[in-house]
């Protein structure tokens, strides 16, 4: 097995939700931005942008809208990654692109999907870069809730939608390596040539380590679940926040795929 600085960095990555009460020097933030921008993107068009939320009141509002997570208000650095088609649609219009071809401009789900890919790829670049700089980071999945309030808070145009959000800071209270969350075996995740349906026994075996951890911590019992499938079904798939995510995501994705007015 190849062992070097990069493989050790990736192998040790874990989400950090508690940060020291100190800021991040602007020089570090600028380096983080530069490293994030090295992410690949479709045609190098960089169909993504980032809103860095610095205003304390806005952060408190974000924490409230994103499932009342105080860590968002306290994090030294908050980045919201946008799937941003708006800037190119403006550039096309202002550069006299209409009439250059007989073909109609391609607006729709394809561009929206590419923009989401670009934003998420850039976000993961930021996560790895942050780890290399000694920072901790954590994704905020709840950022796709409450689309009406988020659109107003961030003054988002129709064709710039939230793809994900990240919080960063110096890890708190951890000297040395952090405990890593278990993952499924490689041969369960990686398939060859075609999709492979899994048997119930295979599903159970692949998630056994995760289930054992939930059982030991008491989280299965606390939710009234007998196994990991019931745990995620109750905690995630039938939850109020997932219903809100589905509602919100449907609204902003449909609007983003529409042709500019």
Predicted confidence (pLDDT) per residue in 73-95, tens digit: 999 999 999 999 999 999 998 99
pTM comes to: 0.94
pLDDT of residue 235: 94
Exposure string for 148-177, b = 16+ CB within 10 A, e = fewer: eebbeebebbbbbbbbbbbbbbbbeeeeee
How large is the average pLDDT for residues 112-125? 97
- In this model, does residue 123 exceed pLDDT 80? yes
Within 90-142, strands assigned E span 136-139
Q: CB-based burial of residue 26 (10 Å sphere; 0-12 exposed, 13-18 middle, 19+ buried)? A: exposed
Asked if CATH classification 3.30.470.10 holds for the domain at 5-180, the reply, yes or no, is no
| Least confident piece of the model among 23-32, 54-63, 100-109, 206-215 | 100-109
Predicted confidence (pLDDT) per residue in 183-222, tens digit: 999 999 999 999 999 999 999 999 999 999 999 999 999 9
User: Percentage of the chain with pLDDT > 70?
Assistant: 98
Question: Tokens in use for 24?
Answer: 């991040």
- In this model, does residue 69 exceed pLDDT 80? yes
| Least confident piece of the model among 82-96, 140-154, 175-189, 214-228 | 175-189
- In this model, does residue 42 exceed pLDDT 80? yes
Please name every residue paired with 19 in a beta bridge, in sequence order, or none if there are none.
Answer: 171
How large is the average pLDDT for residues 143-170? 96
How large is the average pLDDT for residues 237-244? 93
How large is the average pLDDT for residues 52-73? 96
pLDDT of residue 174: 63
pLDDT of residue 103: 78
pLDDT of residue 260: 84
**Arithmetic mean of pLDDT over the chain:** 94
pLDDT of residue 98: 83
How large is the average pLDDT for residues 38-48? 96
How large is the average pLDDT for residues 152-180? 89
pLDDT of residue 107: 84
Cα dist from 74 to 17, 25, 81, 188, whole Å = 10, 16, 19, 38
Phi, psi values for residue 162, rounded to 5°: -70, 125
Q: How far apart are CA 213 and CA 254, in angstroms?
A: 39
- In this model, does residue 126 exceed pLDDT 70? yes
pLDDT of residue 104: 72
pLDDT of residue 176: 58
Within 119-189, strands assigned E span 136-139, 160-169
| Least confident piece of the model among 41-50, 60-69, 91-100, 208-217 | 91-100
pLDDT of residue 102: 76
Contacts of 24 (CB under 8 A, 6+ apart): 76, 77, 135, 168, 169, 170
Where do the structural domains in the chain lie, given as residue ranges? 5-180
């Amino acid at each position: 097995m190849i062992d070097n600085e990069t493989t050790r960095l990736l192998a040790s990555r874990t989400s950090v939700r508690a940060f020291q009460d100190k800021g991040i020097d602007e020089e570090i933030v600028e380096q983080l931005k530069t490293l994030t921008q090295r992410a690949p993107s479709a045609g190098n068009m960089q169909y993504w942008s980032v809103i860095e939320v610095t205003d304390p009141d806005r952060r408190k509002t974000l924490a409230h809208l994103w499932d009342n997570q105080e860590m968002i208000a306290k994090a030294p650095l908050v980045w919201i990654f946008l799937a941003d088609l708006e800037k190119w649609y403006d550039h096309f219009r202002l550069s006299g692109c209409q009439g250059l071809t007989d073909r109609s401009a391609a607006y729709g789900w394809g561009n929206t999907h590419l923009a989401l890919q670009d934003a998420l790829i850039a976000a993961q670049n930021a996560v790895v870069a942050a780890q290399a700089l000694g920072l901790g980071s954590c994704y905020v999945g709840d950022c796709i809730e409450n689309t009406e309030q988020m659109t107003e808070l961030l003054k988002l145009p129709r064709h710039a939608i939230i793809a994900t959000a990240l919080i960063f800071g110096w890890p708190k209270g951890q000297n040395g390596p952090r405990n890593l969350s278990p993952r499924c075996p490689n041969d369960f995740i990686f398939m060859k040539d075609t999709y492979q349906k899994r048997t119930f026994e295979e599903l159970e075996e692949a998630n056994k380590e995760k289930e054992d951890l939930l059982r030991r911590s008491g989280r299965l019992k606390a939710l009234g679940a007998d196994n990991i499938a019931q745990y995620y079904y109750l905690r995630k798939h039938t939850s109020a926040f997932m219903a809100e995510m589905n509602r919100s995501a449907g609204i902003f994705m449909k609007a983003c795929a529409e042709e500019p007015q």
